[in-house]
Amino acid sequence: MKHLTLSAAALLASGGMALADGHAAEVNLQLQWVTQSQFAGYYVALENGYYDEEALTVNIIPGGPDIAPPQVLAGGGADVMLNWMPSALAARENGLPVVNIAQPFVRSGLMLTCWADSGITEPADLAGHTVAHWFFGNEYPFLSWMSQLDIGVEGGDDGVTLLQAGFNVDPLLQRQADCMSTMTYNEYWQVIDAGVTPDELVTFRYEDYGVSTLEDGIWALEENLEDPEFVDRMARFVRASMRGWAWAAENPDDAAMIVLDYDETGAQTEEHQLRMMGEVALLVEGGDGRLDEAAYQRTVDTLLAGGSDPVISAAPEGAFTHVVTDAALAE
């Protein structure tokens, strides 16, 4: 594995650079989805002043179903993005040199939720059915799983028909789809809150089938990591963000309320965000932001195991670095 390198001397030389002109350094963070407890660590860091203590002005930019974070990063709309690793590695293979600089989420919350009366009892039964999924790179883990099962996604009796999902779970509730990709901390509970009982559903967690991939990593452009000032700024950003995650995990109710305060749409509810925060805390538990290389390799192996149509065609080179987390965790 090729690693990006930056000397400790260069990092030390950059220390305090952000304050040289008396102004805090700016970080524009592109989220993968709308404002919700999935991103509580960042909102807590903002609200509790952790970014201020690192001399950073952090702008948190909400995402959505029609926003592709890699495109925002490539266009200069953000300094750093949150992205699922399959999406980021596919973008890298297609010419956008993004690099994972930290990995707050250490396990996956992705699963498929299907109607029990659809006759689907195992993922291998999905052929001939319609599955609703988010696009813009979020579909890659599902595509990889189907490819491993030798199930196409072009529809027909032998394949899956993909239907683009949006903000809600209407495709499943309205029976437009037999299954829908859901997160343990979000869409599954939207289905339950709509009045569906767990007995009416069958679920398949990616973690349980050995096809889970890393989610919600922090990614930056490779060329920027050649700049010691940028690396120093990212180290302070990651350090403050992980403080935010630690506080959020220890104070889930208060963290959820902070997220609600930052939800400018007013669409989120207290009950849903409280529950989401509790589930998300399980996904970040035990992590310190440093990428687990074994989990990285499992993700790569899963994406490569796609038969004739893998999500990526070759093992990535230089797709992650520990330089930022090493600096962040050094203090």
Starting at the earlier edge strand, list the strands of the sheet with 80-83. Answer: 56-61, 25-30, 80-83, 217-221, 98-102
Instruction: Give 3-state DSSP helix, strand, coil % of the chain, rounded to 5.
Output: 45, 15, 40
Q: What's the pLDDT score for residue 19?
A: 53
Per-residue pLDDT tens for 181-236? 999 999 999 999 999 999 999 999 999 998 999 999 999 999 999 999 999 999 99
- Give every CB contact of residue 71 below 8 A, 6+ residues apart in sequence: none
Tokens matching residue 329? 């965790």
Q: What's the pLDDT score for residue 138?
A: 82
Q: Which of 237, 241, 235, 242 is nearest to 324 (CA)?
A: 235
Neighbours of 185 (CB within 10 A): 22
Below-50 pLDDT ranges, the chain: 1-18
> What pTM was computed for the model?
0.86
Largest CA distance in the chain: 65
Q: What's the pLDDT score for residue 10?
A: 42
Q: What's the pLDDT score for residue 8?
A: 38
Question: Residue 172 class from Cβ within 10 Å (0-12 exposed, 13-18 middle, 19+ buried)?
Answer: buried
The residue whose two tokens read 């609200």 is 47
- Give every CB contact of residue 69 below 8 A, 6+ residues apart in sequence: 30, 31, 32, 63, 78, 81, 82, 83, 87, 219
